Structure 1
Amino acid sequence: MGKKSKNEKGKGSTPATVQLEKAGVPFETYEYEHSNDHMDDGYGVEAATKLGFDEHQVFKTLMADTGSERVVGVVPVSVHMDLKALAAAVGAKKASMADPKVAMRESGYVVGGISPLGQKVHHKTVLDESALQFDRILLSGGKRGFSIGIAPEDLLKVLNAVAAPIGTW
């Protein structure tokens, strides 16, 4: 199981934690040893397994392109993102996954460590509504092996995001 700590200034500091600290939002940080072995299931599943959380409570951050703008979708690691539903949630006709290089450049993070928080370029963000059933969800803290625990309502507020059914089971 990974190490948990309360948000202590400077400890595991990333642009994501800096944004939360500036907003005065409570959060916890979790660290675990990231390994490239057995990555077939993905980074989020690795975080859930190593930190001992249910895969429905751990969320991944994905970037999509609607043709006119890029948007961020945050869905459980146990599901796929429904691009049609994501597009509808932001008033677009369609969406496709953004190129990983674009996602890394605009977020300021590496794939497997992209957080919806503290991105270099702020994008409209949609959180899968399943997050609202939990008091706390986990998501990337801005680097591989580093996660943040946060109340979904606080995440929505800080990002000025919306909740919508964008995960496909």
Structure 2
Amino acid sequence: MSRTTRATQFLQRAGIAFTVATYDYDPGAERVGLQAAEAMGEEPGRVLKTLMAEVDGRPVCVVVPSDREVSMKRLAAAFGGKAAQMMRPADAERLTGYHVGGISPFGQKKRVPTAIEATTLALPYVFMNGGQRGLQVRLAPDDARRALDAVAAALVA
């Protein structure tokens, strides 16, 4: 597995300190983020999942703890919209250039507005997908927010 991806290159160019962690990706896992947390021996709330959605028809990226679910109402409100829905996996892959299970908020083919769950900013560190299945980056959550120019909002139900 390559430890250099568009996501890690994006973080390096942004001057963000991070370390790389790998785990055995299980393609049959019901919830990829929870499987990653378990495989790495980390708390699920510290391993963040990257989801692609649409708010009023516009693509957005959403980063929340792997053990929580996104509130579509809160997501729409975070971007000043009326309605939100999850993006179809094929559309998410085409937009980001990553495969489902390996979608990172960093280094996507097309940069879209991003929101991160506000409560994660209080954590000393988090893990986020590094742009490949089985690859995570460990970094300070506020560094991630700044690098993504993300909105911090209450996004989980």
Structure-1-length-normalised TM-score: 0.89
Deviation at 1:33, TM superposition (A): 1.6
Q: How many residues align?
A: 156
Residues 1:48 and 2:48 aligned together: no
Give the distance between the partners of 2:57 and 2:87, measured in 1 at CA. Answer: 12
Map Cα deviations across residues 8-67 of structure 1 (whole Å, 9 max, x no partner).
xxx600111000000111001001121235x12x11111100111100111001111123
Structure 1: runs of 5+ lacking an equivalent: 1-10
Deviation at 1:162, TM superposition (A): 1.2
Residues 1:28 and 2:24 aligned together: no
The residue that corresponds to 1:12 in the other structure is: 3
SS at match of 1:56: helix
Structure-2-length-normalised TM-score: 0.95
Indicate the RMSD between aligned Cα atoms, in angstroms.
Answer: 1.1
Map Cα deviations across residues 99-119 of structure 1 (whole Å, 9 max, x no partner).
111100111111111110000
The residue that corresponds to 1:91 in the other structure is: 80
Aligned with 2:110 (options 121, 124, 136)? 121
The residue that corresponds to 1:154 in the other structure is: 143
SS at match of 2:110: coil
Aligned with 2:132 (options 115, 118, 143)? 143
SS at match of 2:45: coil
Deviation at 1:83, TM superposition (A): 1.1
Give the distance between the partners of 1:95 and 1:55, measured in 2 at CA. Answer: 25
Deviation at 1:153, TM superposition (A): 0.8
Give the distance between the partners of 2:75 and 2:117, measured in 1 at CA. Answer: 9
Give the distance between the partners of 1:55 and 1:30, measured in 2 at CA. Answer: 15
Give the distance between the partners of 1:46 and 1:138, measured in 2 at CA. Answer: 13
Residues 1:163 and 2:143 aligned together: no
SS at match of 1:64: strand
Give the distance between the partners of 2:55 and 2:26, measured in 1 at CA. Answer: 33
Contact 2:48–2:64 under 8 Å retained in 1: yes
Give the distance between the partners of 1:105 and 1:33, measured in 2 at CA. Answer: 25
Deviation at 1:68, TM superposition (A): 3.8
Structure 2: runs of 5+ lacking an equivalent: none
Identity of matched residues, %: 38
Residues 1:61 and 2:50 aligned together: yes
